[in-house]
């Protein structure tokens, strides 16, 4: 049906190829394209790389789309005709399939040429020139034309000096000169208008940070002297000096520092706040006048959230931070803030007003969601959440949630093995979270006027049952006491001094386990692993800490990076109360009949991004992690929920999630067919790099390469019943897996839908690590680099080696 429709459309176009011309007015031509020719000055030969594409962006309007030279969208526009009803189906088809004709115009070309000259001036290419013309199609039967522009580019001017012009040594002028220390106008950089504009905004923000509330970037003027010649022989021949000064007509009130007088906080309904412009006085706490007619809030919350104090100098930093704190309390429908000058002669005092409209205190919400995960599981979940936003009148938030969901394997091979367990899960449980907008620590107080963001204390309790189809159920109970605080907008800390986790397998399908054990093709090591998985209980009491650093890039900076680090350790405190087994002292000590797991875990995530151009970004990530059991857990297998896995949609995408490693341990087809991919390790090292291309506002692409692996510590028992090929050793670099591919990303602003198609380049189990179970002399070696094995024509090869990752969001 679809092919027939396409054939019909193609036939209509061919039969009507000349019918567009009859609609084109006499003496007019359809505008179907443009061309920019860049010609550098022959004497100085300036660098013009990329300038052609920059100038093309300026050209307006967008030309009519063509297919093999035929304006097919205009044809659809005329073919469908004028609809009688603008909201009807005919109008919809005309708007979607067609587009109105755009005619070539020399007047428009001249305007575009003038805009290009203006752009070149703004970029420092002074005295450059652009001319444009209409070029008619050489085919007489086609009444189409393009616009062609010839840009003659003169050398680009660079900055030699930046001078701040001041008339006296007043306090304002001293602060203005101090702002030069962080200037964006660097010696040797090209002179650019957008950088100059950004520099004015930067200076304005720095002055507002010193109390100059009424200052404005429009009060600054920057003059350019391009007649200085070549004052610095180390720079290009074309140089300029810049002179920055305050406009003479600037009012003195804008050059004065201001201080806080009175602070008013008013809570009430949205209608009353919008209608009431007269501040109402209420009880004063520490200099803040609070009018809370409904007695909804304790006064402390406003003292903590609002950083201003009477007598303090105004700063834009505290202005923004106070608003951010109030908004992040998630208690108010809107937060309205204003500053009024106290009406006195030569006043330097400001009254501050905060009008807050409280949200509904209690709410009930039901959400049905779909998701994809890093381990290539996808599914759906139903959540019912009850929330109290102000349970103790201090903006404390209590959230109680119950959920039911399921996960299935995405992008994996599905076997028809009768006893296959697979990676299908059903999840159900409940959790409760209580958040306080302050530190709950005895004898510790914060200073709101210095804290950038209000800290949080979060108490959480979670219960979950996770049912793996046909095998067993994992019951998990977890409780955390956490502190979250920000040093500034770039650095966030999360400290969980108390984390209690109890995990117990239940409802084990012994018949299925027996069938697997009796299967002659099942590896004994795999049987041991599986039995341990469904039998081991864990009781972990520990602490963890995470720090994330996302520095704000400087304006026009092409490089940015982020660092995330974590420390997790547990079992030490609980081991003091644990007891040895009376009959077998070689077994781990237990607490309430559950072995105590002692460990330390370190994680690092390092990211670097470089903006190559407006449509090209280079993204990189290095991930390192290790968990080391010790003491009482020296002979215990590490629980899977604390371990690492390789592969998946956010990892090494050429390998299915949990299919890689550990080390050079090869995939066990029989085990995979029975229980799915279940490879986990104690050590993770991974590097990802990808080039991201922006095709349109919605459609993006990527080319990527991933490398890394996972490994285990210790002997084969500690490795979780893998043999020595899974253990970390001095030859770990020879066990690195490598893969790559291409990606398609659909960016809908509120979410990114991602498809990544990848294939392995290097398979680490092909390394020259012999199988300990193989008879001597029967081991065959293969080159781990598998480029020669690529066979796109083979269905079997494609099924095994072409991995399609479906996910929501970017991988990093």
344, part of any domain: yes
Pair 214, 186 in one domain: yes
309, part of any domain: yes
Percent pLDDT > 90 in the chain is 48
798, part of any domain: no
* Structure-model confidence comparison of residues 69 and 805, the more confident one: 805
pLDDT tens-digit readout, 636-651: 778 888 899 999 889 9
Q: Indicate whether 171 pLDDT > 80.
A: yes
Pair 118, 186 in one domain: no
777: Cβ contacts below 8 Å, ≥ 6 apart: none
Question: Among 266-270, 543-547, 677-681, where is mean pLDDT lowest?
Answer: 266-270
Confidence class of residue 1 from pLDDT cuts 50, 70 and 90? very low
534: Cβ contacts below 8 Å, ≥ 6 apart: 471, 472, 505, 508, 513
Handedness of CA 693, 695, 696, 698 (dihedral sign): negative
779, part of any domain: no
Quote the pLDDT of residue 572. Answer: 79
pLDDT tens-digit readout, 18-77: 567 778 888 888 899 999 999 988 776 777 778 888 899 899 999 988 888 788 888 888
Q: Distance of CA 135 to CAs 8, 32, 77, 105, 300, Å?
A: 33, 11, 24, 11, 73
Q: What is the mean predicted confidence (pLDDT) over 746-761?
A: 90
Name the one residue in this structure whose structure tokens are 């559950």: 594
Pair 249, 280 in one domain: no
Whole-structure pTM value? 0.78
Pair 352, 418 in one domain: no
pLDDT tens-digit readout, 417-465: 545 555 678 889 999 999 999 888 876 665 555 566 788 999 999 999 9
Quote the pLDDT of residue 779. Answer: 55
pLDDT tens-digit readout, 379-392: 788 999 999 999 99
Pair 307, 330 in one domain: yes
Pair 235, 298 in one domain: no
- Distance between first and last Cα of the chain: 41
What is the residue range of 185's domain?
158-255
735, part of any domain: no
Confidence class of residue 113 from pLDDT cuts 50, 70 and 90? very high
Confidence class of residue 611 from pLDDT cuts 50, 70 and 90? very high
81: Cβ contacts below 8 Å, ≥ 6 apart: 90, 94
Return the closest-CA partner of residue 307 out of 317, 299, 297, 294: 317
Boundary-marking domain end, from 358, 384, 404: 358
- Number of domains comprising the chain: 4
Q: What is the mean predicted confidence (pLDDT) over 760-780?
A: 68
Name the one residue in this structure whose structure tokens are 């986990």: 680
Q: Indicate whether 221 pLDDT > 90.
A: yes
Q: What is the mean pLDDT of the chain?
A: 85
Quote the pLDDT of residue 357. Answer: 92
Pair 126, 251 in one domain: no
Confidence class of residue 96 from pLDDT cuts 50, 70 and 90? confident
Pair 381, 503 in one domain: yes
Boundary-marking domain end, from 669, 695, 721: 695
13: Cβ contacts below 8 Å, ≥ 6 apart: 70, 72, 75
- Residue 212 is part of a domain; what is its CATH number? 3.10.20.310
d(CA 499, CA 599): 13
pLDDT tens-digit readout, 332-373: 998 999 999 998 877 899 999 999 999 999 999 999 877 766
- What six digits make up the tokens of 807? 């996910």
785, part of any domain: no
Question: Among 90-104, 173-187, 300-314, where is mean pLDDT lowest?
Answer: 90-104
Pair 345, 385 in one domain: no
Return the closest-CA partner of residue 242 out of 161, 167, 181, 122: 161
Pair 142, 180 in one domain: no
* Structure-model confidence comparison of residues 1 and 207, the more confident one: 207
Helix (H) or strand (E) holding 272: helix 270-275
727, part of any domain: no
Pair 390, 347 in one domain: no
Q: Indicate whether 470 pLDDT > 80.
A: no
632, part of any domain: yes
d(CA 17, CA 207): 65
- Residue 529 is part of a domain; what is its CATH number? 2.40.160
Pair 611, 513 in one domain: yes
Question: Among 12-16, 316-320, 540-544, 735-739, where is mean pLDDT lowest?
Answer: 12-16
Question: Among 142-156, 516-530, 533-547, where is mean pLDDT lowest?
Answer: 516-530
Answer for the pair 276, 366: CB distance below 8 angstroms, yes or no.
Answer: no
Q: Indicate whether 776 pLDDT > 60.
A: no
d(CA 61, CA 109): 10
Q: What is the mean predicted confidence (pLDDT) over 201-226?
A: 95
Answer for the pair 246, 255: CB distance below 8 angstroms, yes or no.
Answer: yes
Confidence class of residue 268 from pLDDT cuts 50, 70 and 90? confident
The b-or-e profile of 597-622 (16+ CB within 10 A means b, else e) is bbbbbebebebebeeeeeeebebebe
Confidence class of residue 374 from pLDDT cuts 50, 70 and 90? low
Boundary-marking domain end, from 221, 240, 255: 255
């Amino acid at each position: 049906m679809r092919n027939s429709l396409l054939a019909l459309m193609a036939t209509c176009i061919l039969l009507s190829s000349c019918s567009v011309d009859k609609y084109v007015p006499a003496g007019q031509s359809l505008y179907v394209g443009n061309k920019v020719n860049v010609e550098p000055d022959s004497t100085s030969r300036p660098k013009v790389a990329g300038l052609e594409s920059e100038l093309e962006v300026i050209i307006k309007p967008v030309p009519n789309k063509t297919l093999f030279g035929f304006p097919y969208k205009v044809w659809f526009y005329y073919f469908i005709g004028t609809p009688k009803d603008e909201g009807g189906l005919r109008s919809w088809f005309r708007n979607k399939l067609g587009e109105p004709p755009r005619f070539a115009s020399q007047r428009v070309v001249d305007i575009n040429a003038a805009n290009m000259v203006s752009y070149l001036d703004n970029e420092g290419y002074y005295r450059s020139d652009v001319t444009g013309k209409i070029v008619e199609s050489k085919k007489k039967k086609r009444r189409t034309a393009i616009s062609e522009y010839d840009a003659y580019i003169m050398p680009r001017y660079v900055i030699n000096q930046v001078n701040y012009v001041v008339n006296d040594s007043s306090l304002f002028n001293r602060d203005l000169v101090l702002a030069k220390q962080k200037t964006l106008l660097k010696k040797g950089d090209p002179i650019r208008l957008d950088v100059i504009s950004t520099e004015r905004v930067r200076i304005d923000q720095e002055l507002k940070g010193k109390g100059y509330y009424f200052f404005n970037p429009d009060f600054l003027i920057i003059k350019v002297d391009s007649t200085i010649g070549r004052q610095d022989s180390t720079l290009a021949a074309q140089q300029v000096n810049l002179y920055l000064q305050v406009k003479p007509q600037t009012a003195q009130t804008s050059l004065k520092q201001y201080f806080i007088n009175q602070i008013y906080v008013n809570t009430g309904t949205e209608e009353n706040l919008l209608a009431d412009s007269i501040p109402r006085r209420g009880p004063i706490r520490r200099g803040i006048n609070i009018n809370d007619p409904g007695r909804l809030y304790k006064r402390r919350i406003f003292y903590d959230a609002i950083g201003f104090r009477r007598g303090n100098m105004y700063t834009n930093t505290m202005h923004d931070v106070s608003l951010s704190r109030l908004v992040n309390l998630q208690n108010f429908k809107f937060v309205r803030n204003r500053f009024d000058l106290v009406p006195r002669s030569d006043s330097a005092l400001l009254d501050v007003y905060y009008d807050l409209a409280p949200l509904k205190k209690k709410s009930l919400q039901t959400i049905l969601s779909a998701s994809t995960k890093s381990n290539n599981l996808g599914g759906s979940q139903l959540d019912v959440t009850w929330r109290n936003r102000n349970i103790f009148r201090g903006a404390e938030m209590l959230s109680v949630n119950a959920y039911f969901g399921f996960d299935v394997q995405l992008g994996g091979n599905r076997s028809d093995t009768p006893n296959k367990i697979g990676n299908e899960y059903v999840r159900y449980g409940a959790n409760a979270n209580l958040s306080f907008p302050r530190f709950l620590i005895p004898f510790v107080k914060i200073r709101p006027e210095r804290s950038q963001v209000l800290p949080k204390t979060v108490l959480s309790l979670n219960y979950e049952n996770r049912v793996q189809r046909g095998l067993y159920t994992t019951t998990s109970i977890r409780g955390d006491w956490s502190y979250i605080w920000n040093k500034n907008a770039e650095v966030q800390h999360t400290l969980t001094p108390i984390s209690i986790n109890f995990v117990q397998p239940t409802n084990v399908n012994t018949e299925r386990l027996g069938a697997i054990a009796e299967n002659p093709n099942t590896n004994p090591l795999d049987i041991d692993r599986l039995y341990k998985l469904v039998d081991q209980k864990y009781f972990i009491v520990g602490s963890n800490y995470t720090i994330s650093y996302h520095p704000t890039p400087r304006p026009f900076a092409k490089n940015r990076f982020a660092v995330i680090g974590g420390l997790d350790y547990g079992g030490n405190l609980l081991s003091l109360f644990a007891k040895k087994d009376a009959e077998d002292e070689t077994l781990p000590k237990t607490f309430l009949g559950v072995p105590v797991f002692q460990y330390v875990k370190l994680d690092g995530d390092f990211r670097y991004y470089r903006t190559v151009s407006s449509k090209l970004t280079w993204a990189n990530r290095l991930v390192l992690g290790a968990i080391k059991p010790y003491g009482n857990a020296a002979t215990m297998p590490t629980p899977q929920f604390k371990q690492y896995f390789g592969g998946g949609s956010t990892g090494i995408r050429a390998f299915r999630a949990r299919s890689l490693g550990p080390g050079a341990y090869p995939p066990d087809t029989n085990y995979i067919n029975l229980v799915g991919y279940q490879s986990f390790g104690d050590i993770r090292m991974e590097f990802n790099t990808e080039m991201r291309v922006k095709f349109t506002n919605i459609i993006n692409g990527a080319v990527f390469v991933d490398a890394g692996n996972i490994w285990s510590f210790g002997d084969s028992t500690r490795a979780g019943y893998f043999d020595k090929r899974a253990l970390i050793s001095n030859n770990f670099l020879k066990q690195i897996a490598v893969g790559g591919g291409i990606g398609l990303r659909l960016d809908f602003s509120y979410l990114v839908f991602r498809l990544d198609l990848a294939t392995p380049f290097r398979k680490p189990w092909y390394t020259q690590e012999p199988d300990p179970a193989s008879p001597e002399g029967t081991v065959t070696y293969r080159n781990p680099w598998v480029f020669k094995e690529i066979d796109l024509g083979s269905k079997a090869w494609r099924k095994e080696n072409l991995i399609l990752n479906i996910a929501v969001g970017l991988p990093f």
